[in-house]
Amino acid sequence: MGKVRVAGFGVSIDGFGAGPDQCLEDPLGKGGKGLHSWFFPTRTFRAMIGADGGTDDRFASASAAGFGAFILGRNMFSPFRGEWSDDTWKGWWGDNPPYHAPTFILTHHARAPIVMEGGTTFYFVTEGIEAALAQAKAAAGDLDVKIGGGVSTVRQYLQAGAIDEIHLALSPVFLGRGESLFAGIDLPGLGYKVTETVPMELATHVVLKR
């Protein structure tokens, strides 16, 4: 059985994992794109968007490798809220999303699975985080499950004690407002300890394990 991991999750110096006022035009919120400046130049990211070249970065590589299933919150899949108005929206990523594995979307509103190119199938789970994790583990087999975000989803799985390992990329930006990743969460009390800290030019990478 694989691990449950958060990997490559961008966080500001003041602890926000997304900026305020998220919308269709600004899916990461105001200033949120700056949390991922470390990732955009890497070979891993450029391969995701079908581009060549890029820098080698072991943290970027690890954030995309070894996963057999993914879990995303509704906001990570769609900018729309409430009932699904139609079946035209199939995610932010086009016909070939970067997951290439079963991907489970947490939602309050049922929807039929969506089969995409490249091995990604989106499944919509209305029974909560435990049901989504059980399905993801079954789909992943011996590979890991990635809790891909957003902030609310990571917080729920942290509070449930379900995450084995967390890799944060602390970007040198202040957002001031947005979605706080750790507010009200006692990481030491949940058993997490920092096992690695690596400062790099565009982010400081911190790994926590239980």
pLDDT digits (tens, 9 = 90+) for 91-110: 888 899 999 999 999 999 99
Element (H, E) at 60: helix 58-62
In a domain, 86, yes or no: no
pLDDT, residue 207, reads 98
In a domain, 153, yes or no: yes
Flag whether pLDDT at 145 surpasses 80: yes
pLDDT, residue 62, reads 93
Q: With bands split at pLDDT 50, 70 and 90, how would you rate the model's confidence at 48? A: confident
CATH code of residue 149: 3.40.430.10
Percent of the chain surpassing pLDDT 90? 84
In a domain, 89, yes or no: no
Q: With bands split at pLDDT 50, 70 and 90, how would you rate the model's confidence at 208? A: very high
Q: With bands split at pLDDT 50, 70 and 90, how would you rate the model's confidence at 179? A: very high
In a domain, 104, yes or no: yes
Average pLDDT of the segment spanning 39-54 = 91
Q: What is the mean pLDDT of the chain?
A: 94
Flag whether pLDDT at 24 surpasses 90: no
In a domain, 51, yes or no: yes
In a domain, 12, yes or no: yes
107-129 pLDDT, tens digit each: 999 999 999 999 999 999 999 99
Q: How far apart are CA 95 and CA 83, in angstroms?
A: 23
Q: How far apart are CA 109 and CA 77, in angstroms?
A: 13
In a domain, 88, yes or no: no
Domain count of the fold of the chain: 1
CA angle 89, 93, 99 (to 5 degrees): 115
pLDDT, residue 49, reads 82
Average pLDDT of the segment spanning 5-30 = 91
Q: With bands split at pLDDT 50, 70 and 90, how would you rate the model's confidence at 26? A: confident
Q: With bands split at pLDDT 50, 70 and 90, how would you rate the model's confidence at 80? A: confident
User: How crowded is the C-beta side of 131, counted as CA atoms within 13 Å?
Assistant: 10
Which residue segment(s) compose the domain that 70 sits in?
Answer: 4-16+29-79+96-203
In a domain, 208, yes or no: no
Q: How far apart are CA 169 and CA 114, in angstroms?
A: 31
Average pLDDT of the segment spanning 29-47 = 93
